[in-house]
Protein backbone atom coordinates (compact mmCIF):
# COMPACT_ATOMS: atom_id res chain seq x y z
CA UNK A 1 0.00 0.00 0.00
CA UNK A 2 2.77 2.41 0.89
CA UNK A 3 4.62 1.58 -2.33
CA UNK A 4 1.48 2.22 -4.38
CA UNK A 5 0.86 5.52 -2.61
CA UNK A 6 4.45 6.59 -3.15
CA UNK A 7 4.18 5.68 -6.85
CA UNK A 8 0.98 7.71 -7.26
CA UNK A 9 2.52 10.73 -5.55
CA UNK A 10 5.70 10.48 -7.61
CA UNK A 11 3.91 9.99 -10.95
CA UNK A 12 3.30 13.72 -11.72
CA UNK A 13 6.94 14.58 -11.04
CA UNK A 14 8.14 11.66 -13.18
CA UNK A 15 5.84 12.71 -16.05
CA UNK A 16 7.01 16.33 -15.87
CA UNK A 17 10.65 15.25 -15.78
CA UNK A 18 10.14 12.96 -18.75
CA UNK A 19 8.20 15.52 -20.80
CA UNK A 20 10.34 18.57 -20.17
CA UNK A 21 13.82 17.10 -19.62
CA UNK A 22 14.29 13.49 -20.73
CA UNK A 23 12.47 13.69 -24.08
CA UNK A 24 13.97 17.06 -25.16
CA UNK A 25 17.43 15.90 -24.09
CA UNK A 26 17.00 12.65 -26.02
CA UNK A 27 15.94 14.57 -29.13
CA UNK A 28 18.95 16.89 -28.90
CA UNK A 29 21.28 13.94 -28.31
CA UNK A 30 19.85 12.13 -31.34
CA UNK A 31 20.51 15.14 -33.58
CA UNK A 32 24.02 15.56 -32.19
CA UNK A 33 25.14 11.94 -32.57
CA UNK A 34 23.40 11.45 -35.90
CA UNK A 35 25.04 14.52 -37.39
CA UNK A 36 28.22 12.86 -38.59
CA UNK A 37 31.07 14.40 -36.61
CA UNK A 38 29.04 17.22 -35.10
CA UNK A 39 31.20 17.35 -31.97
CA UNK A 40 34.38 17.55 -34.06
CA UNK A 41 32.92 20.43 -36.07
CA UNK A 42 32.03 22.27 -32.86
CA UNK A 43 35.52 21.87 -31.44
CA UNK A 44 37.01 23.02 -34.76
CA UNK A 45 34.96 26.23 -34.86
CA UNK A 46 37.22 29.31 -34.59
CA UNK A 47 34.92 30.87 -31.98
CA UNK A 48 34.56 27.80 -29.75
CA UNK A 49 37.71 28.06 -27.62
CA UNK A 50 37.52 31.86 -27.15
CA UNK A 51 33.86 31.41 -26.20
CA UNK A 52 34.79 28.69 -23.72
CA UNK A 53 37.39 31.01 -22.18
CA UNK A 54 34.85 33.84 -22.03
CA UNK A 55 32.30 31.59 -20.34
CA UNK A 56 34.93 30.45 -17.84
CA UNK A 57 35.87 34.03 -16.95
CA UNK A 58 32.22 35.02 -16.67
CA UNK A 59 31.42 32.04 -14.44
CA UNK A 60 34.40 32.46 -12.10
CA UNK A 61 34.02 36.23 -11.65
CA UNK A 62 30.23 36.14 -11.26
CA UNK A 63 30.41 33.26 -8.78
CA UNK A 64 33.12 34.81 -6.62
CA UNK A 65 31.42 38.20 -6.56
CA UNK A 66 27.95 36.82 -5.89
CA UNK A 67 29.03 34.38 -3.18
CA UNK A 68 31.18 36.98 -1.40
CA UNK A 69 28.42 39.56 -1.31
CA UNK A 70 25.66 37.01 -0.74
CA UNK A 71 27.37 35.44 2.28
CA UNK A 72 27.95 38.85 3.86
CA UNK A 73 24.35 39.93 3.26
CA UNK A 74 22.88 36.63 4.53
CA UNK A 75 25.05 36.77 7.65
CA UNK A 76 23.91 40.33 8.36
CA UNK A 77 20.24 39.51 7.78
CA UNK A 78 20.45 36.54 10.15
CA UNK A 79 21.27 38.94 12.98
CA UNK A 80 18.27 41.21 12.37
CA UNK A 81 14.92 40.93 14.16
CA UNK A 82 12.49 38.63 12.39
CA UNK A 83 10.22 41.40 11.06
CA UNK A 84 13.12 43.43 9.66
CA UNK A 85 14.68 40.29 8.20
CA UNK A 86 11.45 39.36 6.44
CA UNK A 87 11.09 42.84 4.92
CA UNK A 88 14.73 42.93 3.81
CA UNK A 89 14.44 39.44 2.31
CA UNK A 90 11.43 40.55 0.30
CA UNK A 91 13.32 43.54 -1.10
CA UNK A 92 16.41 41.48 -1.90
CA UNK A 93 14.33 38.85 -3.71
CA UNK A 94 12.72 41.42 -6.04
CA UNK A 95 15.48 41.22 -8.70
CA UNK A 96 14.52 37.58 -9.27
CA UNK A 97 11.20 38.77 -10.70
CA UNK A 98 12.75 40.97 -13.40
CA UNK A 99 13.47 39.72 -16.90
CA UNK A 100 16.98 39.73 -18.34
CA UNK A 101 15.96 42.49 -20.76
CA UNK A 102 15.00 44.84 -17.92
CA UNK A 103 18.22 44.08 -16.04
CA UNK A 104 20.37 44.67 -19.13
CA UNK A 105 18.61 47.94 -19.99
CA UNK A 106 19.00 49.17 -16.41
CA UNK A 107 22.72 48.45 -16.39
CA UNK A 108 23.18 50.19 -19.74
CA UNK A 109 21.45 53.29 -18.37
CA UNK A 110 23.53 53.18 -15.21
CA UNK A 111 26.94 51.92 -16.36
CA UNK A 112 26.99 52.25 -20.16
CA UNK A 113 29.06 54.82 -22.05
CA UNK A 114 26.46 57.51 -21.28
CA UNK A 115 25.29 55.94 -18.03
CA UNK A 116 24.68 57.88 -14.86
CA UNK A 117 27.49 56.38 -12.80
CA UNK A 118 29.86 56.40 -15.76
CA UNK A 119 29.35 60.13 -16.20
CA UNK A 120 29.88 60.72 -12.48
CA UNK A 121 33.20 58.89 -12.66
CA UNK A 122 34.08 60.85 -15.80
CA UNK A 123 33.72 64.07 -13.82
CA UNK A 124 36.19 62.60 -11.32
CA UNK A 125 38.75 62.17 -14.09
CA UNK A 126 38.12 58.63 -15.34
CA UNK A 127 37.75 57.82 -19.04
CA UNK A 128 34.04 57.38 -19.75
CA UNK A 129 34.68 55.41 -22.94
CA UNK A 130 36.88 52.88 -21.15
CA UNK A 131 34.45 52.50 -18.25
CA UNK A 132 31.45 52.16 -20.55
CA UNK A 133 33.21 49.58 -22.70
CA UNK A 134 34.00 47.42 -19.66
CA UNK A 135 30.31 46.63 -19.19
CA UNK A 136 30.29 44.73 -22.49
CA UNK A 137 33.07 42.30 -21.52
CA UNK A 138 32.79 38.97 -19.66
CA UNK A 139 33.78 40.74 -16.43
CA UNK A 140 31.16 43.45 -17.03
CA UNK A 141 28.54 40.83 -17.79
CA UNK A 142 29.51 39.06 -14.54
CA UNK A 143 28.91 42.35 -12.72
CA UNK A 144 25.47 42.67 -14.32
CA UNK A 145 24.61 39.01 -13.71
CA UNK A 146 25.42 39.33 -10.02
CA UNK A 147 22.32 41.52 -9.77
CA UNK A 148 20.11 38.42 -9.88
CA UNK A 149 22.67 35.88 -8.65
CA UNK A 150 23.28 37.52 -5.26
CA UNK A 151 19.61 37.14 -4.19
CA UNK A 152 19.83 33.42 -5.01
CA UNK A 153 22.80 33.07 -2.69
CA UNK A 154 21.11 35.09 0.06
CA UNK A 155 17.87 33.10 -0.12
CA UNK A 156 19.77 29.80 -0.04
CA UNK A 157 22.10 30.69 2.84
CA UNK A 158 19.84 32.79 5.05
CA UNK A 159 18.16 29.77 6.75
CA UNK A 160 21.61 28.28 7.37
CA UNK A 161 22.84 31.36 9.21
CA UNK A 162 19.55 31.88 11.04
CA UNK A 163 19.73 28.34 12.45
CA UNK A 164 23.39 28.63 13.41
CA UNK A 165 23.77 29.00 17.18
CA UNK A 166 25.96 32.06 17.92
CA UNK A 167 26.61 30.67 21.38
CA UNK A 168 29.20 28.43 19.73
CA UNK A 169 31.21 31.48 18.71
CA UNK A 170 30.88 32.96 22.18
CA UNK A 171 32.12 29.71 23.71
CA UNK A 172 35.13 29.62 21.39
CA UNK A 173 36.02 33.22 22.20
CA UNK A 174 35.67 32.55 25.92
CA UNK A 175 38.30 29.83 25.52
CA UNK A 176 40.76 32.28 23.98
CA UNK A 177 39.97 32.23 20.25
CA UNK A 178 39.87 35.49 18.37
CA UNK A 179 36.78 36.48 16.41
CA UNK A 180 38.44 35.47 13.15
CA UNK A 181 39.54 32.11 14.58
CA UNK A 182 36.04 31.41 15.90
CA UNK A 183 34.50 32.15 12.50
CA UNK A 184 37.09 30.09 10.62
CA UNK A 185 37.25 27.09 12.94
CA UNK A 186 33.73 26.91 14.37
CA UNK A 187 31.30 28.52 11.95
CA UNK A 188 32.94 27.93 8.56
CA UNK A 189 33.13 24.12 8.81
CA UNK A 190 29.39 24.01 9.45
CA UNK A 191 28.38 26.33 6.60
CA UNK A 192 31.03 25.43 4.01
CA UNK A 193 28.87 22.80 2.31
CA UNK A 194 25.83 25.11 1.78
CA UNK A 195 28.14 27.88 0.55
CA UNK A 196 29.81 25.52 -1.92
CA UNK A 197 26.41 24.28 -3.06
CA UNK A 198 25.20 27.85 -3.63
CA UNK A 199 28.40 28.70 -5.50
CA UNK A 200 27.99 25.71 -7.81
CA UNK A 201 24.31 26.50 -8.35
CA UNK A 202 24.90 30.06 -9.49
CA UNK A 203 27.98 28.99 -11.49
CA UNK A 204 25.81 26.53 -13.43
CA UNK A 205 23.11 29.19 -13.89
CA UNK A 206 25.46 31.86 -15.22
CA UNK A 207 27.42 29.40 -17.40
CA UNK A 208 24.29 28.41 -19.30
CA UNK A 209 22.34 31.68 -19.22
CA UNK A 210 22.06 33.86 -22.30
CA UNK A 211 19.08 36.19 -21.80
CA UNK A 212 20.86 39.05 -20.04
CA UNK A 213 23.96 38.64 -22.21
CA UNK A 214 21.90 38.71 -25.40
CA UNK A 215 20.00 41.81 -24.31
CA UNK A 216 23.18 43.54 -23.11
CA UNK A 217 25.68 42.85 -25.90
CA UNK A 218 23.80 40.94 -28.61
CA UNK A 219 25.88 38.14 -30.09
CA UNK A 220 29.16 40.08 -30.07
CA UNK A 221 30.42 38.72 -26.75
CA UNK A 222 32.15 35.36 -27.05
CA UNK A 223 30.52 32.98 -24.60
CA UNK A 224 29.14 29.52 -25.35
CA UNK A 225 25.40 30.24 -24.89
CA UNK A 226 25.57 33.12 -27.37
CA UNK A 227 27.50 30.94 -29.81
CA UNK A 228 24.70 28.37 -29.51
CA UNK A 229 22.14 31.13 -30.08
CA UNK A 230 24.01 32.18 -33.23
CA UNK A 231 24.02 28.61 -34.56
CA UNK A 232 20.29 28.28 -34.03
CA UNK A 233 19.01 31.71 -35.03
CA UNK A 234 21.44 33.15 -37.56
CA UNK A 235 23.11 30.49 -39.68
CA UNK A 236 20.54 27.76 -39.15
CA UNK A 237 22.43 25.39 -41.45
CA UNK A 238 24.15 23.00 -39.03
CA UNK A 239 21.61 21.90 -36.45
CA UNK A 240 23.61 18.79 -35.46
CA UNK A 241 26.49 21.09 -34.46
CA UNK A 242 24.05 23.24 -32.49
CA UNK A 243 22.75 20.11 -30.76
CA UNK A 244 26.30 19.00 -29.97
CA UNK A 245 27.14 22.39 -28.47
CA UNK A 246 23.93 22.28 -26.44
CA UNK A 247 24.98 18.90 -25.03
CA UNK A 248 28.42 20.24 -24.15
CA UNK A 249 26.89 23.18 -22.28
CA UNK A 250 24.46 20.83 -20.52
CA UNK A 251 27.32 18.53 -19.54
CA UNK A 252 29.34 21.45 -18.18
CA UNK A 253 26.43 22.77 -16.10
CA UNK A 254 25.62 19.28 -14.82
CA UNK A 255 29.27 18.73 -13.88
CA UNK A 256 29.33 21.96 -11.91
CA UNK A 257 26.19 20.96 -10.03
CA UNK A 258 27.56 17.46 -9.42
CA UNK A 259 30.78 18.94 -8.02
CA UNK A 260 28.74 20.98 -5.54
CA UNK A 261 26.75 17.92 -4.44
CA UNK A 262 29.93 15.85 -4.11
CA UNK A 263 31.65 18.48 -2.00
CA UNK A 264 28.59 18.88 0.20
CA UNK A 265 28.19 15.16 0.86
CA UNK A 266 31.91 14.66 1.43
CA UNK A 267 32.09 17.64 3.77
CA UNK A 268 29.12 16.48 5.84
CA UNK A 269 30.69 13.04 6.35
CA UNK A 270 33.76 14.69 7.92
CA UNK A 271 31.85 16.93 10.34
Please indicate whether residue 216 or residue 12 has the higher confidence score (pLDDT).
Answer: 12
Question: What's the rounded mean pLDDT across residues 13-32?
Answer: 89
- Average confidence score pLDDT of the chain: 86
What pLDDT digit, counting tens, does each position of 134-149 carry? Answer: 888 888 888 888 888 9
What pLDDT digit, counting tens, does each position of 124-137 carry? Answer: 877 777 777 888 88
With a cut of 70, say whether residue 201 has pLDDT above it: yes
Q: What pTM did the predictor assign?
A: 0.85
Could you give the CA distance from residue 98 to residue 95 in angstroms, rounded to a whole number? 5
Give DSSP secondary structure letters for 86-135.
HHHHHHHHGGGGS-HHHHHHHHHHHHSTT-HHHHHHHHTT--HHHHHHHT
Amino acid sequence: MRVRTAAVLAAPAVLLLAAFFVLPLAAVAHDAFAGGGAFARVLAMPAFWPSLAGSAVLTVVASLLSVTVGVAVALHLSRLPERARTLASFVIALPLTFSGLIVAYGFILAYGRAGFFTQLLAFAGFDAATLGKALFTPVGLAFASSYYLIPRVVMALLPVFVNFDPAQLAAAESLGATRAQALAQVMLPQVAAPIAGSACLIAAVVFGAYGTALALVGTQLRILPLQLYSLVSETGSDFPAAAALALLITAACSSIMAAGEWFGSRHERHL
